[in-house]
Structure 1
Amino acid sequence: MTPLQQLHEAFELLLSDFVDPREALIGDDGALWNDVTTDAWNSPVAAERLADIRQQCRQLQFSNEFAINGVENRISYIVGSGHAYQAVVRKHTAAPDSLASDVQRVLDEFLAASDWHSRQQEIVRRMDRDGEAFLRLFAIERGKTLVRFIEPDDVVTPDRQRDNPAATMGILVDAGDVESVRGYYVDGQLVPASDVQHRRANVDRNVKRGLPLYTPVRKNLRRAEKLLRNMSVVAEIQSAIALIRKHRTTSRTGVEQFVASGADVTATKPNGRIEHLTQYGPGTILDAPSHVEYDFPATGVDASAFVTILQAELRAIAARLVMPEFMFTSDASNANYASTMVAEGPAVRMFERLQSTMARDDREVMWRVVEHAARAGVLPTNVRELIEIQITPPSLAPRDALRDARVMDLAHQRGIVSPQTWTRRLGLDYDQEQKNLAVHGVGGE
């Protein structure tokens, strides 16, 4: 072996053992993984990356039937028929009951004017689609409050603040403290943080902007959609061809003459080609010459071979949503709703957690509404020290109404539960029910 051959062999051995350190950072699509550290997601570069992800998820939620179904089900379970908001006197205070009624009136006016139930649904949809929702509050005449949405694309750092590390992602914060927000740049103008509520999802508290719900399963959703489309197209093509006649020993001219002689209808296409059509009624018996064979391709259609793969993709997406598969796919053939929606089930626990988060954010909005009224003199300035706002979301787990009524009745008799709490648990308004009872001459408590 010559020295040159030995050198080539040594290099081949060296290269075969070489490991690219970047290989661990390459995803299944061949692209490098993104840096997911907090600093990376708060950097100016992250704004473009997030905008691209948000656009992809918006497209999925607009056109992908599985993505639409998942979000709509989340809205149904998180918001449902709507949350109940009740102003009550804070315990260990001597506030008059009339103050709670005054606060309740302010809240009811805001809920009605802002169409809050519908707005709640849109908040969930926006947070799932965009990873965040911006609500801007305006104090208007007579202490009332107006609420409007801000589009995430409009929250952008202006060019004059590009070099300010505290003003990235369209949000101005205190230097060194991401959680202390001073304002939001909306269309180039700084809006005070007191006028905006920013709800984020799927990120840590020290990350300025949220991530859409379907960020980690975007490829799964696209694959599921393409697989279902391809299965349908193949089945459509195969089933569209009724039969294929095979002429073993006939020339092309002979085949054309055979087709023309057996046609029921002859039509000319716009391109000049002549099309011969033959109609076969139910129970038609075909008599073929010895040189003609009939083949029926529709008998070979077997889409079930791909159903298992499709189910595996959809199951992975349902796992991301922490939802039973049937809630995501609407296929209840292998599921039991009663056994799934139990108090200890993971879906119920997850939805309860999401309801609690929404109630916390909603309470913050309601307090801003009350504070606007207090600054206008409609309510006392110390109203927050005297009043508490209680929020009751709709029940998730299937309930035994008779058993629950007995439990509540026993708790009421023992002085544990008030009529107001009992009424709220039923999804009713206590004051309104008392007025209704008075109209019918039935005494309430």
Structure 2
Amino acid sequence: MKSDHLVHQRLQEAFELLWSDFVDPRDAFAGDDGLAWQELSAGAATSPIAAERLADVRQQCRELLVSNEFAINGIENRISYIVGPGHTYQAVVRKHATAPESLASEVQQVIDEFLETNDWHNRQQEIVRRTDRDGEAFIRLFATAEGATQVRFVEPEQVATPNARFNDPAASLGILTSKHDVETVHGYFVDGELVPAAEVQHRRANVDRNVKRGLPLYLPVRKNLRRAEKLLRNMSMVAEIQSAIALIRKHRAATRTGVEQFVVSQADATVAQPSGRIEQLTQYGPGTILDAPSHVEYEFPATGVDASAFVEILQAELRAIAARLVMPEFMFTSDASNANYASTMVAEGPAVRMFERLQAGMTRDDAQLLWRVIDHATTAGRLPVNVRQLIDVQITPPTLVTRDALREARVMQMAYENRLVSPQTWSRRLGLDYEQEQQNLRVHEKQS
């Protein structure tokens, strides 16, 4: 019996040792927040997050963009640098093409009509906000019989696979693609209706090209944002509580009755609380000098407030979030005490390189959208069918780097005098409409 007990004990110890060393292979597919990652197969890529969790993650990031001041500041700064005062769009005759200048003016008129009708500058800002917040933006195009185009946003929740196609891999996540080519999109299921791909532009972010749906910008740092918000809140509450108590009187060797009588004698006013409790108030003016009996001590808790111990922790959290955005810390925290804008926004700076990449991506997406607008005008007979071969659309985003305006003007003047740039290009660099300025000059000359 004794030997059996010894064997049992040794087996139990061996199993406990094995159990403590056991590694669950599923741990590799779970983040520190418990979010399970989906293993992608080579055959069909859908989303790195399971479809049922994607809506939940998107909702979390939306809540952050409503309630978290740091998250809001980060997105607003991205909008300011990517969109800024707005991009300029100019229709020009394509290189090596022979076309009348009037054709470029006709195409420009179609573009200007589209920009004005759809309030495009504000819509551009919303595109950046939606793409960062939701990981994607769906833009649906509606063409009129006259060749004009209107656009409207489609919410990500509206794009979903109908029940009848639920088991069809080509129709997963509300997007119908070729069976063996995810990048070839045939249409989008919007509120159960299949809308042709030509009528929808899908801008997605933070995923590979063969992934159907995008991921929110703040997905990896949403817990950091919540911790930063809670830490700041707790710091403020502790400081508020400590500073709200002006002083604490300590009565040495005094009875409770004696303390209560002392409080009543020192009170300047008496207030009855709704709970029935009577509160004694004493007012101390600026420069008040307190004379205390030998058995009374005064302690001022506000002198012990030390929020600096937590500020470094808060800054570490904010740096982690700023690193995700590839932003200098001061852009994210609005604390410019330890940063220099001129040394940050230089041509080789990481933030400039990132914003240039984002601007280039938006420029390509805008160009694709504008060509659909031009195609609608062509179908309606407003433009010739070969307009794509004759006309090009040049898009100029706002400048990011810190500029020496006088030096840049001299460089442009030298380039113009040596016939390296045109007046139209010079105007776009200045953020001006060349044709409008020429018309203004003609009006000015007539009046003078």
TM-score (norm 2): 0.95
Q: Does 1:429 align with 2:433?
A: yes
Alignment match, 1:16: 17
C-alpha change, 1:364 and 1:30, in structure 2 (3 Å) is closer
Q: Does 1:404 align with 2:408?
A: yes
Correspondence 1:189-338 to 2 at 5 A:
189-338=193-342
Over the matched positions of the two proteins, sequence identity in percent amounts to 70
C-alpha change, 1:297 and 1:40, in structure 2 (3 Å) is farther
Cα distance in 2 between the residues matched to 1:29 and 1:298 = 38
**How far does the alpha carbon of each residue in 1:248-306 deviate from its partner, in whole angstroms, 9 at most, with x for none?**
21122221111011100011111111110000111111122222111111111000000
Classify the secondary structure of the residue corresponding to 1:439.
helix
Which stretch has the larger CA shift, 267-276 or 245-254? 245-254
Q: Does 1:69 align with 2:70?
A: no
Alignment match, 1:389: 393
Alignment match, 1:346: 350
Equivalent residues of 1:25, 1:33 under 8 A apart = no
Shift of residue 181 of structure 1? Answer: 0.6
Paired residue type of 2:322: A
Cα distance in 2 between the residues matched to 1:343 and 1:33 = 39
Cα distance in 1 between the residues matched to 2:174 and 2:135 = 15
Cα distance in 1 between the residues matched to 2:409 and 2:49 = 57
Paired residue type of 2:303: T
Cα distance in 2 between the residues matched to 1:200 and 1:49 = 17
Correspondence 1:364-379 to 2 at 5 A:
364-379=368-383
Classify the secondary structure of the residue corresponding to 2:438.
helix
Cα distance in 2 between the residues matched to 1:251 and 1:27 = 60
Classify the secondary structure of the residue corresponding to 2:203.
strand
Paired residue type of 1:37: L
Cα distance in 2 between the residues matched to 1:111 and 1:70 = 27
Cα distance in 2 between the residues matched to 1:36 and 1:260 = 71
Cα distance in 1 between the residues matched to 2:334 and 2:33 = 33
Q: Does 1:79 align with 2:83?
A: yes
Alignment match, 2:56: 52
C-alpha change, 1:5 and 1:72, in structure 2 (3 Å) is same
Classify the secondary structure of the residue corresponding to 1:87.
strand
**How far does the alpha carbon of each residue in 1:315-334 deviate from its partner, in whole angstroms, 9 at most, with x for none?**
00000000000000000000
Classify the secondary structure of the residue corresponding to 1:141.
coil
Equivalent residues of 2:45, 2:210 under 8 A apart = no
Paired residue type of 1:46: A
Classify the secondary structure of the residue corresponding to 2:90.
strand
Which stretch has the larger CA shift, 417-426 or 51-60? 417-426
Paired residue type of 1:288: A
**How far does the alpha carbon of each residue in 1:395-429 deviate from its partner, in whole angstroms, 9 at most, with x for none?**
00011111111111111122211111111111111
Cα distance in 1 between the residues matched to 2:56 and 2:189 = 20
Alignment match, 2:3: 2
Equivalent residues of 2:38, 2:48 under 8 A apart = no
Shift of residue 91 of structure 1? Answer: 1.0
Equivalent residues of 1:43, 1:168 under 8 A apart = no
Classify the secondary structure of the residue corresponding to 1:190.
strand
Cα distance in 2 between the residues matched to 1:169 and 1:44 = 12
Shift of residue 44 of structure 1? Answer: 12
Q: Does 1:37 align with 2:62?
A: no
C-alpha change, 1:355 and 1:388, in structure 2 (3 Å) is same
Paired residue type of 1:325: E
TM-score (norm 1): 0.96
Cα distance in 2 between the residues matched to 1:27 and 1:287 = 64
Alignment match, 2:134: 130
Equivalent residues of 1:25, 1:32 under 8 A apart = no
Unaligned runs of 5+ in 2: none
Cα distance in 2 between the residues matched to 1:392 and 1:89 = 16
Shift of residue 53 of structure 1? Answer: 0.5
Shift of residue 86 of structure 1? Answer: 0.3
Alignment RMSD, CA only?
Answer: 1.8
Cα distance in 1 between the residues matched to 2:433 and 2:250 = 76
Paired residue type of 1:88: V
Equivalent residues of 1:145, 1:372 under 8 A apart = yes
Correspondence 1:148-159 to 2 at 5 A:
148-159=152-163
Unaligned runs of 5+ in 1: none
Equivalent residues of 2:38, 2:49 under 8 A apart = no
Cα distance in 2 between the residues matched to 1:44 and 1:257 = 69
Paired residue type of 1:359: T
Equivalent residues of 1:341, 1:398 under 8 A apart = yes
Cα distance in 2 between the residues matched to 1:370 and 1:59 = 38
Alignment match, 1:146: 150
C-alpha change, 1:44 and 1:92, in structure 2 (3 Å) is closer
Equivalent residues of 1:172, 1:184 under 8 A apart = yes
**How far does the alpha carbon of each residue in 1:18-64 deviate from its partner, in whole angstroms, 9 at most, with x for none?**
32233743757473642253678627982221101100000001100
Correspondence 1:167-206 to 2 at 5 A:
167-206=171-210
